Amino acid sequence: MRIAAFFAALFLSYGIVVPYFPVWLHARGLEPLQISTVTAAPLFIRILVTPGISLLADRLGDYRLVITGLACSALAMTLGLGFASGYWPILALGVIFLLANGTMVPLIETVAVRAVRTDGLDYGRMRLWGSVTFIVANFLGGIAIEALGGGSALWMIACGVVLTIAAALALPKPATGRAPAVRGPRIDWKSSSPAQLLGSRLFVLFLIAIGCIHGAHATFYTFGALYWQSQGMPAAWVGTLWAIGVFAEVLLFAFSGPVVRVLGPVQLIALGAAASVLRWTATAFDPPLYLLVPLQVLHALTYGASHLGAILFISRAVPHTAMGTAQAFYSTIAAGLMLGIVGLISGAIYRQVGGLVFLVPAAVAAAGLAASVALLRGWNGHTLWEEAAGARSPVSPTTQPTVD
């Protein structure tokens, strides 16, 4: 319940940040390329910062402390943005805010996956509460912005961050009497987890596939709300469309147990890639509202199925001793670097092409589909390499490999 509560609080603020932070930036006078720079820069910086913070949390043995510190930093930056004016101050404060806010996600994911492996908890049932509050924030945020203007988005974000701090303080405390980290013998790089993962053709295909699928969302995250508003759509409807997409994702997470008994991790990733090609291609050609609704429902596949597949792939394919490194690669490269690249490309051409900018994520998703098909053909359901006896920790029934 405490992990689910933190997901709920964190994604309450995310439900304003993702669709409406660009609206707030636009209200403060930033141009499209400047907006995409503010939102994309943290995704590149995360490549250096997130692994270091994850390592710090491992060394301290206290994820709760690190998450609380990040939440407090996010609140400080949010308050600073409220008094900032001009592109450069907003860029500096905005990057730090998004970096702190985004780095909490892989940390709580690590806490959740460990609980799945050691206590047999259901990941989907914990994660769905984040999606529920994301829907609430999308819907109510749209109504508030319609009434109060784009400038109100920042203060709604601040309220969400305050709740995130409270939820972080309620997370389980680390076990007492934990032995301090001991420096072991020097490890040869070639036999280290990062080298083995990057040397695995299958893991690289996984990163390409999931990176392209997640990266394809960058255009929508940055310009979806702005584009719909430019077509005359009320902010309340913008929030409703976001809520529809995430509600479909909630249903998938709620029934994740039966789903993963039918579809394996790579099948889920491939399904998400195919849905992404369809979703973004159709969105590029200004579909009417009655088509936008089913296109938003595809979010259950483009994000929900692909993310669930990624979590399960790491749980099943990656040896236990390399799981932390694999999660760091997933967070920083797949869910960070690719989002940044696609976001910057979209920002550079949005003014010239308008809605056709969504052909960029459609092409990226097509590359992800090709990689996922190659992964589907190459992975036999076993770990990427043999791990030492006794290294594997207990795994919940929902994360054990199925027999095809």
Please report the pLDDT score of residue 206 as a whole number.
96
How far is residue 235's CA from residue 387's CA, in Å, rounded to a whole number?
Answer: 52
Which residue positions in the chain have pLDDT lower than 50?
177-185, 391-404
* Residue 387 pLDDT: 66
Output the pLDDT for position 402: 36
Which pLDDT score is estimated for 191? 61
Q: In Å, how far from its chain's centre is CA 232?
A: 29
Q: Number of C-alpha atoms within 13 angstroms, CB side, residue 26?
A: 20
Tokens at residue 402, please? Answer: 């199925």
Instruction: Please give the pLDDT value at position 353.
Output: 87
User: How do the domains of the chain map onto residue ranges?
Assistant: 2-172+192-387
Six-digit token string for 286: 């200004």
Long-range CB contacts (within 8 A, 24+) of 153-157: 153/16, 153/20, 153/21, 153/23, 153/24, 153/27, 154/21, 154/24, 154/78, 154/81, 154/82, 155/82, 156/16, 156/20, 157/13, 157/16, 157/17, 157/21, 157/78
CA–chain centroid gap for 250, Å, is 15
Terminal C-alpha separation, the chain: 33
CATH of 2-172+192-387, one of 3.30.460.10, 1.10.10.10, 3.40.50.300, 1.20.1250.20: 1.20.1250.20
Indicate the pTM of the whole model: 0.74
Q: CA 85 to CA 100: how far, in whole Å?
A: 21
- The count of other CB atoms within 10 Å of the CB of residue 383 is 14
CB atoms within 10 A of CB 121: 18
Q: According to the model, what pLDDT value does residue 164 have?
A: 96
39-93 per-position pLDDT tens digit: 888 888 888 887 778 777 777 778 899 999 999 999 999 999 999 989 999 999 9
Tokens describing residue 169: 């303080």
b/e 150-165 (16+ beta carbons within 10 angstroms → b): bebbbbbbbebbbbbb
Give the pLDDT confidence score for residue 377 in this predicted structure.
95
Nearest Cα residue to 111 out of 387, 396, 324, 255 = 324
SS3 per residue for the chain: CHHHHHHHHHHHHHHHHHHHHHHHHHHCCCCHHHHHHHHHHHHHHHHHHHHHHHHHHHHHCCHHHHHHHHHHHHHHHHHHHHHCCCHHHHHHHHHHHHHHHHHHHHHHHHHHHHHHHHHCCCHHHHHHHHHHHHHHHHHHHHHHHHHHCHHHHHHHHHHHHHHHHHHHHCCCCCCCCCCCCCCCCCCCHHHCHHHHHHCCHHHHHHHHHHHHHHHCCHHHHHHHHHHHHHCCCCHHHHHHHHHHHHHHHHHHHHCHHHHHHHCCHHHHHHHHHHHHHHHHHHHCCCCCHHHHHHHHHCHHHHHHHHHHHHHHHHHHHCCHHHHHHHHHHHHHHHHHHHHHHHHHHHHHHHHHHHHHHHHHHHHHHHHHHHHHHHHHHHCCCCCCCCCCCCCCCCCCHHHCCCCC
